[in-house]
Structure 1
Amino acid sequence: MAERYSPRAPAPVRLPARIADVALAAFTVVVVVAVALAAGVRNPWAGPIPLALFLGVLLLVRRRWPMTVLLLSVAAIFAYHLAYWSPAGWIWPVSAAYFTAAATSRVRWVAAIGVAQLVYSAIDARWIIGRNLTRYLIHTLGEGVLLAVLIAAGLAYAASRRAGDRLREADDRARAAEERLGIAREVHDIVAHTLAVVGVHLNVAADAIAEEPAEAAAALRLAKDVRNQAMHDLASLIGVLREGPTATVPQPDLDAIGKLVAEAQVTGLSVLLDEQGDRSTVPATAAVAVYRIVQEALANTLKHSGATEVSVTIAYRPHSVTVRILDDGHGHLDGGVGEGHGLMGMRERVRALGGTLTVGPAAAGFAVQAEIPVASSSP
């Protein structure tokens, strides 16, 4: 069975929709009364006006109870035609009710109600056959065509609503996947850097504990400090997840790169930081990306490359930021087995900002270089 749009549980109707319902109700009242007057009805209060008001009031709740509105509207038309002679049609006065009900999952019932109404109207107007067969055919076939158009329009509207819902769901899933990917990058960057630095300090402590206990104790204290900072960063990230998308937490930026360099230097790695240009022109998103790239590159250097020296060069230009991390090791690529989560995370960060990332062997060792475009400061 084909899937059809089914209204969700009743919810507060938005103001534009409520205004549209009021306008449609007023239009129905005016048209029904106008047609009655044009057809020669002398006393509109004796039938047409009460019918028009009743149909108009029903349209105010058509979104909440579409089938109920349709049934009551059709019943009112039957009562009107039984009580008063009228040249007015059977379908067009309740067009809005048919359209609304046809957009629900009960479209078959809507069609059955419409067909029953058309059959009755055809029988009721049989006296016209002897006088004007053409008029009779126009009367019956015209209302049949109108009913088909209203049901088709309701189905098309329901289909468009379903398509819109699917697009919104797809957008929601894409945003959720993007958020999960961002969270995974943050967790990886924090944990990978922490494990790399802590691992170096633990190795130092293990080697020195017998002969130089003071040096071993200092290495353990440094490892503990790095671990505590990582726990704080993870707690902040988890707090954001618990509190929802409106929660904010300060992200490390260019000012925190010096701390990364200091942590790497404490492990015995010689790190030279060279910043060129004015960092104040760099937007926050690019600043966080540069920090994470330096963090991941230094973590990989400590874990995999066997390097003793590394240079970090950051060039701030009017249209871009270039960051290059070059070490004298034998290369890494997240363990030497291909692109792991860290390198993938760097590529995704840079790509999201419209930049480029190159990673691979260099003349003096191994290099990571990213170029991230930024807004021009010139008008």
Structure 2
Amino acid sequence: MAEPPPLREPAPVRHLARITDIALATLTLVFFIAVALAAGVHTPRQGTYPLALLLGALLLVRHRWPMTVLLLSIGGIFAYHLTGHWSPAGWIWPAAVAYFTVATTPRVRWVAAIGLAQLVYSAVDFRWALDTNPTRYVLHVAGEGLLLAILIAAGLAYAAAMRWRERLRETDSRARAAEERLRVSHEVHDIIAHTLAVVGVQLNVAADTLQEDPTAAAAALRLAKDVRNRAMTDLRSLVAVLRDNPADTAPQADLASLDTLIADARAAGLEVTLDEHGDRAAIPAVLAIALYRVVQESLANALKHAGASKAEVTIGYQPRSITVEITDDGRSAPGGAEATEGHGLAGMRERVSALGGALTAGPIAGGGFAVRADIPVAGSTA
């Protein structure tokens, strides 16, 4: 099966990311202007407004060009300070979102180097405060350094969380693919087992009656051919699941094909009676396929392994659960011992268990074999 394509973020997630970028751009613009005005800037049009607009606009493309956004933001801040403007917002904070964004990328080392260079320049530029207020100078430099460290650490943590989420998504995708392969293998086994059982019986009939009753032999061969053709159709639809385009798959056999299955078993020499209680049309498709396969495998086992002459299929369709029981008069394990669980029985058990049900199988008193499956209807309440 081809590897699944990378999962694209759902549209609501993409819209939320765009809204977040707009909100961060707006906050950066408004807060930078507010701080500058509060600090006593008297001519904001000459530097404050243009820098605020630049910082905000750059954040709208921060995911597409994170390093470019960071470098342009820092360049704008340098130009702002070198032209004689000053703001208590400092050097790091105006580019905080840009620093965080680049820290989430593999270029985090560049972020640390650029931030350190900016801190050094900030410390040199603010050295005039050493003479008048050393405490203020230390708090300014230490605060800028701490903010830079927090932004880088937050970016690294966010990137790690995103990588972990992506690994979980990939693991889930691989698990779904493995489950699909397992389901297909069960379907293929059931189809082949049933087909070989019915076709084998009909070929024996044709071989035994070829000389004495050619008409009966021809009828047996035609039936074997019909069963084979239906099996090939089922197999082609299952093989399509393994292709890149699952739209080519055909509907799988379900309870609508149950009558044909019973007719095939009867034609193969097994006297089958079907007793149904309830409305089969109301059964969900997943449960219907599982029930069909349980009946198919059980009848195939009765024909191929047990040498049974009679079988009874009883299905009860209730609102909260479905019960199916198949009994036959074939050979059971000697001394009433448990029958060896082969691939067919194990596949039935796994199929029913995956739907939250339980399957039991074993010899019955007086001879014969019985398979019983109880499957809850999803969404029902007790």
Query: What is the TM-score of this pair, normalised by structure 2?
Result: 0.89
Match of 1:351 among 350, 353, 359: 353
Q: Who is 1:77 aligned against?
A: 77
Q: Which residue of 2 aligns with 1:177?
A: 178
Change (3 A) 1:91 1:248: same
Q: Give the distance between the partners of 1:136 and 1:55, measured in 2 at CA.
A: 26
- Say whether residues 1:340 and 2:312 are aligned partners: no
Counterpart residue type for residue 370 of structure 2: A
Following the alignment from structure 1 to structure 2, what is the Cα–Cα distance between the partners of residues 345 and 357? Answer: 11
Match of 1:264 in 2: 265
RMSD: 2.4
- Relative distance call for 1:60 and 1:196 in structure 2 (3 A) is same
Task: Specify the alignment match of 1:5 in structure 2.
Answer: none
Report if the CA contact (8 A) 1:205-1:217 is conserved.
Answer: yes
Work out whether residues 295 and 326 of structure 2, in 8 Å CA contact, stay in contact via their aligned partners in 1: yes
State how far apart, in whole Å, the 2-side matches of 1:164 and 1:378 are.
Answer: 34
Q: Offset of 1:212 from its aligned partner? A: 2.9
In the alignment, what sits opposite 2:288? 287
The answer to which of 163-172 and 341-350 deviates more is: 341-350
CA distance in 2, matches of 1:240, 1:142: 59
Counterpart for residue 306 of structure 1:
307
Aligned to 2:372: 369
Deviation at 1:248, TM superposition (A): 5.9
Q: Which runs of 5+ in 2 are unaligned?
A: 1-6
How much does 1:121 deviate? 0.6
- Counterpart CA distance in 2 for 1:345 and 1:103 is 46
Q: Which residue is 1:103 aligned to? A: 104
Is the deviation greater in 340-349 or in 155-164?
A: 340-349
The answer for the alignment partner of 2:34 in structure 1 is: 34
Instruction: Answer whether contact 1:304 1:331 (CA < 8 A) is retained.
Output: no
Q: What are the Cα deviations for residues 71-100 of structure 1, in whole angstroms up to 9, with x where unaligned?
A: 111121112111114143000000000000
**1:18 partnered with 2:14:** no
2:116 alignment partner in structure 1:
115
Amino acid of the structure 1 residue aligned with 2:123:
A
Shift in CA distance, 344/29, structure 1 to aligned 2, threshold 3 Å: same
Q: TM-score, normalised by structure 1?
A: 0.90
Tell me if structure 2 keeps the 8 A contact 1:319–1:373: yes
Three-state SS of the structure 2 residue aligned to 1:348 is: helix
After TM superposition, the structure 1 = structure 2 runs for residues 96-245 of structure 1, keeping only pairs within 5 Å, are 96-239=97-240, 241-242=242-243, 244-245=245-246
Q: Identify the range of structure 1 (49-58 vs 310-319) with the bigger mean alpha-carbon deviation.
A: 310-319
Residues of 2 paired with 1:265 and 1:49: CA distance? 88
Q: CA deviation at 1:300?
A: 1.2
Contact 1:318 1:376 in 2 (8 A): no
* Identity of matched residues, %: 64
The answer as to whether partners of 2:320 and 2:381 remain within 8 angstroms in 1 is no
Deviation at residue 251 of structure 1 after TM alignment: 3.2
Tell me whether 267-276 or 359-368 shows the greater mean CA deviation.
267-276
